[in-house]
Amino acid sequence: MATLSEFFSHLYTMTIIFFSLLLLETVILIRTVTGTICSAPQRLVTTTQFLKFIEEKNPTISYKLMRQQATSTSDHHHHEFNNIDNIECAVCLSDFEDSEQVRSLKCKHTFHKDCLDTWLQQYLATCPLCRTKVLPDEIVANFHHQLQNNNNQVFRFLPFFSADLITGGGGARRH
C-alpha cells in the first residue's frame, strides 16, 4: 500500500512539473509572438548580430600580422608601436601571443578578440581603457533590451519550481 501511495505521489509531482513546463513554454511563445507584433518598429539585436556589428566596425587580426604591419609602416607610425612586444590585453592582463586574434579599436587600443567581445556585451560597448564608443547607442540599447527581455521571461517563472517539485517532495514530507 505504501508503494502504491508513493507511486501516485511521484506521478502527481511529475504531472505538475510537466504542466508547469507546458504553461511556461506556451506563455513564452505567446509573449514572443505578441512582442514581435507590438514592437515591430524597434529592431531587436541578437547576440550574433551584435558580434557581427563589432566585427564590421573593428575587424579581427592576428597579433603577428598586426606587429608586421606596424613595423612596415612609416617612422611616425612605427614610433607609436615601438614597444609592441610588451603590449598586454588590458581586460585579462595577459601578454599577446603571435597566434592570438586581437581587435584594435579606433582609439588605437588593442585587446584579445574574446576579451573585448565579452566586455562589449556586458558593458555599454565602450573601450575598456578610454571609454570611447565602439558601436552606435541605438544598436547597444536594442541589444541590451533584447537580453533583458530574455532574462525576464526565464526568471518570471522560477518561483513555480520549488525544491519540493523538482525533488519529488522527498525532503518536506515524513511518513
Q: What's the CATH architecture for 47-135?
A: 2-Layer Sandwich (3.30)
Percent of the chain with pLDDT over 70: 70
What does the pLDDT read at residue 37?
56
C-alpha cell at 82: 615601438
**Of residues 162, 123, 172, the one with CA closest to residue 20:** 162
Q: How far apart are the first and last CA of the chain?
A: 13
In sequence order, the 6+-apart residues with CB closer than 8 A to the CB of 69 are none
Checking if the pLDDT of 103 tops 80, the result is yes
The mean pLDDT value for 60-85 works out to 67
How confident is the model over 119-140, as a mean pLDDT? 84
At 165 the pLDDT is 52
pLDDT band of residue 82 (cuts 50, 70, 90) is: very low
List all residues 6 or more positions away from 28 whose beta carbon is below 8 Å from its beta carbon: 153
pLDDT in tens, 84-100: 545 889 899 999 998 99
What is the reported pTM?
Answer: 0.54
Looking at this protein, which amino acid is placed at residue 137? D
User: pLDDT at residue 52 above 70?
Assistant: yes
Neighbouring CB atoms inside 10 A of 69's CB total: 12
Q: State how far the Cα of 100 lies from the Cα of 143, in Å rounded to an integer.
A: 27
